[in-house]
A and B are shown apart, each in its own frame.
Chain A
Amino acid sequence: MQTGNSVIIHSSPIIQQGLKSILLSRNIGITDVMVAVPEDTVLNTWKNMLIMVDTQFSDEIKKHAKVIKKNGNRIVGIETAVFFNKLDSCSDDILYVHDNLDTINQTLMEYLSGVSDVKSDNQLSHREIEVLTMVAQGYSNKQIAGQLFISIHTVITHRKNITFKLGIKSIPGLTLYAALNNLVDFQR
């Protein structure tokens, strides 16, 4: 059973094939293999993906990091040098070409554990995710109702459902959850 999806961005056919083989062995699907970072219109369509990207594209990735990360995508840099990560903090993780299979598996586990979280997130409706995001951004019920063109009563119902589904009661808790799931920027 497939448990996630990935995109490989690397110009080396050897590395492309190696990554494909490893990802498929862990039941992670491969949506696309690219040789360059695509435009925002494509990046916007990626959701909850594992983005395995050559660190040579550090400038493009840094430029588009916000767009890539906003939909719960996880960026893993592929580095050919030893102990050097050109992507710095904009990657969630780094793999060196010399890494052994245990290290690679641990990195993939990080993504897979995130995917299972996203699955439980999916129990929230699109509207609930919108409400959760606005709660985390500090909007009041009245402001949320105004922005989403719904009644305050409906906002309260959405909030009750969010708390019930996530098991998180407090506003700081919901904000923390939203930050960890890339719904809001966590650097406050």
Chain B
Amino acid sequence: MITERDKLSDVISMNIDLLPITHRLGLSTHIGEKTIREICILFDRDVKFTLGILNTFSTANYLPNPEDMDLCPLIDFLTKTHEFHKQVTIPRLSGLIVQMKQLMPNEKLLIVVEDYLNQYIEKLIKHIDYEETEVFPLVRKRVEAKGKTQVSNLKKLFKQHTNVENELSDLKTIIIRHIPVQIDMNLINDLLHTLSHFEKEQLDHARFEDKILIPRLIALQAP
């Protein structure tokens, strides 16, 4: 478990996947030898919230105390995660497929995977847009009103929150089973690594929404 006394540089060295997470938290510069607590004070961030995020992304099945996770910073974090996927992960995946298709234009696996991925991305962007235009503004409004405005059906509000991460897991499984003999192994490795990271991030993202965001909203509504 990561604690406030740990140096952020040590935490990132132990798990490099946390670097983009610290970036989304606005903590990735001027790290030096500072502890997480010192960095949080420097950038005016909540220590418990920061630890909750870092531990969720570094420990399987970990869930922070919902009381430590304020909703507005959580929404900011989730929005930055959306941005990261739109600007980095999705173009990277599409680019790798294009590169492989240039080398093997008639390879059936690449043709069907590109089609699958395009449809997946379209669904994901639609889901992200729904959350950013419908769900998140409503959450902020409720926080500002201190829960006094009622939302009729929270589960209905999150109706589009489907388990899209299953589709990434399936895609990875199928690609591994059908790797063509003559494919560029470096590109296919990159693709599978990017898919694995993406799948894990999607799972963590869904965990935040299902286990923190929705229960916190329900608690806010309770008399």
Residues of B within 8 A of A63 (CB): none
Which positions 125-153 of chain B face chain A at CB distance < 8 Å? Answer: none
Query: Chain B contact residues: over half helix, strand or loop, or mixed?
Result: helix
**From B106, B108, B119, B182, contact of A180 by CB (8 A):** B108
Q: Do residues B181 and A186 form an inter-chain contact, with CB atoms below 8 A? A: no
Residues of A within 8 A of B178 (CB): 113, 117, 180
Give the CA-CA distance A186 to B115 in the complex, in Å: 9
The answer, yes or no, to whether A98 is at the interface (CB within 8 Å) is no
Q: How many residues of B contact A (CB 8 A)?
A: 22
Q: Do residues A186 and B174 form an inter-chain contact, with CB atoms below 8 A? A: no
Binds B, one of A10-18, A24-32, A46-54, A163-171: A163-171
Q: Do residues B112 and A173 form an inter-chain contact, with CB atoms below 8 A? A: no
A170 to chain B, nearest CB (A): 5
Range for the number of chain A residues in contact with chain B: 20 to 34
Query: Chain A contact residues: over half helix, strand or loop, or mixed?
Result: helix
**From A89, A110, A113, A180, contact of B174 by CB (8 A):** A180
Q: Do residues A186 and B111 form an inter-chain contact, with CB atoms below 8 A? A: yes
The answer, yes or no, to whether B173 is at the interface (CB within 8 Å) is yes
Which positions 179-195 of chain B face chain A at CB distance < 8 Å? Answer: 180-182
Chain B interface residues (CB < 8 Å from chain A): 106, 108-109, 111-113, 115-116, 119-120, 166-167, 169-171, 173-174, 177-178, 180-182
Chain A interface residues (CB < 8 Å from chain B): 89, 92, 106, 109-110, 113, 117, 167-170, 172-174, 176-177, 179-180, 186, 188
